[in-house]
Structure 1
Amino acid sequence: MTIVSLPASPRIPASRGSRRLPDQPRLSVGFILARRFTLCAFANFVDVLRLAADEGDRSRPILCNWTVLSENMEPVTSSCGISVHPKERLGSPARFDYIVVIGGLIEDEATLPPAYHRFLHDAAAQGVPLVGVCGGAFLLHRAGLLRGYRCCVSWFHHPEFLEQFEGLDPVADQIFVVDRDRLTCSGGASSAHLAAYLVDKHVGRAQASKSLHIMIIDEPLQADKPQPGITMNFKTRDPMVLRALLMMQQNIEQPFTVTEIARRIGHSKRQLERHFQAALGTSPQAAFLDMRLSLAHHLVTSGERSISQIALECGFCDSSHLGRMFRRRYGQTPQALRQAGG
């Protein structure tokens, strides 16, 4: 097991903002790492700060600084087995501009220890924005710190979030979400773009672009850039269409109307229909039906679910409804396809 020590970063006094001294970093970030945190999400976030921090290329924490925080200073092991050694105890959150929680594997996560909950609640009370990266959104919500906020989760973990946090409406069709003093992102490469957003805001656009270019990332992406999830057989780069397709995918069992999909992504039904026609040569309704039938075809040929169960999972009223639509699309019923061996 490898221990990784981050470079020491100077302490920032509690008084910040307009009272910041000229020689103080413009952006200070404290990190909390969950057990079995995702190393990629953490490393991408830190590297954007590191590369933006120094006018040259020596990784000195001049314009930005970053610190891994801990209650007990014990190493924290990531999901891939590499461990990171904290640099400072929790202390006062007011010395940071942001507190970033890097989540771990969803199936392993419960809650953060009480000391971290107190620290995060103190940060919120003192107006320090909280950032949830990857599974960090789960942890912030379990700590009671996302009530009334929009939050971003990976399309891959959208069903788990809905299952664990009934009544919430997490965003899974954007790479990150900024809602007042809560910022959340889906993890992976999106954590670099969220970090670049913060660098742009506090340090400068040139430094944000420099970081991403050195990391071989073409350009900063805005928050509403669609996540690159599975969109079946549809090939398009139209952001509006991609977001709509992802929303369709995440709601196959209980399909939204086109009007509702358009409303949720902030556009009119007519705008959405025009974009679908231009990008895919079809309507949103037809694309959604094709998506549901493609999934049904896959389930019929690759599993042992009953046709009735498949119909419900793919958003059809019953097996008869699925059968009619399936025959129009594939020229035979689901039962005939299964009997023929796919």
Structure 2
Amino acid sequence: MATPHPARQAHVPEGAFTYPIEARAPTRWFGFILLRDFTLLAFSSALDPLRVANQLAQKPLYGWVVMSADGQPVRASSGVELGVDGGLDALTDDLELFVCSGNRGTEVASDAVLAAIRRHARFGGQVGGICTGAMTLARAGLLKDKRFTLHWENQPGFIEAFPGLTPARTRFEADGKIRTCSGGSASTEMMLSIIAQDYGQDFAIAVADMCLNDPNLTPGREQRSSIARAIDSRNPKLLHVLRAMYANIEEPLSLEELARDAGVSRRQMERQFTQSLGDPPATIYRNIRLDRAHSLLAETDMSVMEVATACGFNSVSVLTRHFKRRFGTTPFGKRSRR
């Protein structure tokens, strides 16, 4: 790893609650390039978990440098102007770089910014995109054969601009030296996944709790719920079935009952679900019930057996099998961490 800039000093704020970290690695440094009209929420949601980690550990686990193309303050999409630490000359080889942009992601990066990002990647640096930052990475030619994502609102425009690249619908992605996220709370989730890799999942969950964020670090989670995507499809039959699924969690309806109630055949229903939502109705129905189980385990004192019954699973073993596949832990593991 390259030697950090000698003038840098990581920020370690004080706090009422601490989580001691005995074996600390050298400070891990991140760089954030803010482009004009960047999304302030996405940027702050990525930065604050690093600050919270330092506060909990009372050690400089992480450091950060905020940059702009010219070293001048940058105006966010909200109209707020944010000061920076410097210009592109502050981008040193040891920084793990993230590009932060907003709705104008395909056009705001200057040639100088693109050249700096390419150079950083060419010399082995980690490069990432926050919110629509993947658009800049695509312009820099860094996304070929990579898994990546960006905010769902901007994906249609991205596909038009870069027809050879297909973004994932997930909240965040890590593929080799490329990290991307869709912004908002997904920025926090991406950084929590890094913290979990560095210092363990329990510490990452403590950071998530301080951020009042759901400590769900499951990779591959989609950006939008099934009901939101169904609304977007403007398919009334699809919405009818989904509402019935949410209304019948404890005693699930059969696929035949769901289709009959919506006035379609089971085959039609399965085809519409797969085309519009990417999964068959059985999978989506099960995930709705698993998400309810996840919430009950986090928010109530119900036993695992009671949760299984309340979510329409006929045994704890069935719930456990599907729960672990979806969330990476068992219901008992989820309960013990709570």
Corresponding position of 2:173? 177
Q: One-letter code of the match for 1:198? A: I
Q: Which amino acid aligns with 2:149?
A: C
TM-score computed with the length of structure 2 as normaliser: 0.61
Task: State the partner residue of 2:93.
Answer: 94
Bigger Rg over Cα = 1
What is residue 55 of structure 1 aligned with on the other side? 56
Instruction: Indicate conservation of the 8 Å contact 2:35/2:69, yes or no.
Output: no
Q: Deviations over 1:167-201 (max 9, x none)?
A: 221112x1111111111111111001001111122
In 1, Cα distance between equivalents of 2:200 and 2:116? 29
Counterpart of 2:215 in 1: which secondary structure? Answer: coil
**Conservation of the 8 A alpha-carbon contact between 1:26 and 1:202:** no
State the shift of 1:128 in Å.
Answer: 1.3
Q: Which residue of 1 aligns with 2:43?
A: 42
Q: Identify if the C-alpha distance between structure 1 residues 276 and 66 changes in structure 2 by more than 3 Å, giving closer, same or farther.
A: closer
Work out the number of aligned pairs and report it.
Answer: 234
Partner of 1:120: 117
Alignment-mate amino acid for residue 180 of structure 2? T
Contact 1:137 1:184 in 2 (8 A): yes
> For the residues of structure 2 that align with 1:218 and 1:279, how far apart are their CA atoms?
17
Structure 2 CA distance for partners of 1:204 and 1:88, relative to 1, 3 Å: farther
**In structure 2, what residue type is equivalent to 1:42?**
F
Partner of 1:159: 156
Whether the aligned pair in 1 keeps the contact of 2:49 and 2:208 (CA below 8 Å) is yes
1:275 equivalenced with 2:289 (yes/no)? no
Equivalent residue for 1:199, pick from 195, 216, 225 = 195
Alpha carbons 1:51, 1:210 under 8 Å: kept:
no
Counterpart in the other structure of 2:319 = none
CA distance in 2 between partners of 1:112 and 1:279 (Å): 39
1: CA distance, partners of 2:209 / 2:98: 23
Per-residue Cα deviation, 1:113-149 (whole angstroms, up to 9, x for no partner): 2222222112111211111111101111112121221
Q: How does 1:165-314 map to 2 (within 5 A)?
A: 165-172=162-169, 174-229=170-225, 230=228, 231-232=230-231, 233=239, 234-235=242-243, 272=280, 274-276=282-284, 278=286
- Residue of structure 2 equivalent to 1:69: 67
Offset at 1:155?
2.2
Find the aligned partners of 1:204 and 1:278 in 2 and give their Cα distance: 29
Tell whether the 8 Å contact from 1:93 to 1:128 is kept in structure 2 after alignment: no
- Per the TM alignment, residue 75 of structure 1 is displaced from its structure 2 partner at its CA by 0.3
Counterpart code for 1:27: R
Match of residue 322 from structure 2: none
Gaps in structure 1 of 5+ consecutive residues: 1-7, 12-21, 239-256, 282-342
Q: Which moved more, 1:137-146 or 1:272-281?
A: 272-281
The structure-2 alpha-carbon separation of the partners of 1:9 and 1:54, relative to structure 1 and needing over 3 Å to count, comes to farther
| Corresponding residue for residue 321 of structure 1 | none
Cα deviation digits, residues 63-114 of structure 1 (max 9, x gap): 1101102342100110011111111333353121x101111223x7404122
Letter in 1 for 2:176: R
Q: Which residue of 2 aligns with 1:32?
A: 33
Contact 2:49 2:191 in 1 (8 A): yes
Question: Does the 8 Å contact 2:114/2:136 carry over to 1?
Answer: no
Contact 2:56 2:207 in 1 (8 A): no
| TM-score between the two structures when normalised by the length of structure 1 | 0.60
2:286, 2:205 → 1: CA distance?
Answer: 32
Q: For residues 208-243 of structure 1, what are the alpha-carbon distances to aligned partners after superposition, in whole Å with 9 as ceiling and x for unaligned? A: 2222111111313322112125233325689xxxxx
Distance 1:104 1:183 in 2: 17
Q: Distance in 1 between matches of 2:141 and 2:116?
A: 13
Any idea what the Cα deviations from partners look like across 1:276-335, whole Å, max 9, x if unmatched?
A: 565689xxxxxxxxxxxxxxxxxxxxxxxxxxxxxxxxxxxxxxxxxxxxxxxxxxxxxx
CA distance, structure 1, for counterparts of residue 31 and residue 284 of structure 2: 43
Aligned CA distance change for structure 1 residues 71 and 164 (closer, same or farther; 3 Å): closer
The one-letter code matched in structure 2 to 1:155 is: W
The CA deviation at 1:274 is 4.1
SS of alignment partner, residue 116 of structure 2: helix
CA contact (8 A) 1:54 1:63 kept: no
Give the whole-Å Cα distance in 1 for the aligned partners of 2:82 and 2:215: 29
CA 1:220/1:53 → structure 2, altered by over 3 Å: closer, same or farther? farther
- Summarize the Cα distance change of 1:40–1:278 in structure 2 as closer, same or farther, 3 Å threshold: closer
